[in-house]
Structure 1
Amino acid sequence: MTETALTKMKDRPSNGVMKRLTILGLCAVCLAQTACVNVTAPDKPIVINLNISVTQEVVYRLDGQAKNLIQSQPGIF
């Protein structure tokens, strides 16, 4: 080989460097094409109407002797 051919081969980047540069170039193209998303707050406040009905039912049973005691002595409680 001639001396100029050898110096040209020495000046060329290696295969691994070329792969890295290609990947970086592709990444730059992909990043340049991404969409921009804007998030803004609404002008009016958000209103949530919660119509909740809460009912509670208490069921109690008294023993027969306790029932008779309460009826016979109403001032016990």
Structure 2
Amino acid sequence: MSKNAVPADELRRVQRAMGLDDTPVEALTPFMRTTLAVVARCALNRPAVPLPSPREISRVDVKRLAAGDRD
């Protein structure tokens, strides 16, 4: 389960509110589950867990290659 996952009971509650309660949460596509999770977070005023900040690239060679510098 990811950090931003919403419990299935909260998804079911949002699903009922949206009029989509004829399909079980477990049978939904990942895209629809994500959409319901976003709606649930908005409805519950619960912010998403922030992603970790990207790490600095420590090797100069990797930075040069990423910039397109080819020897």
Larger RCO of the pair (alpha carbons < 8 Å, separation 6+): 2
Q: Which structure is larger by alpha-carbon Rg, 1 or 2? A: 1
Q: Under a length normalisation based on structure 1, what TM-score does the superposition of the two structures give?
A: 0.25
Q: Under a length normalisation based on structure 2, what TM-score does the superposition of the two structures give?
A: 0.26
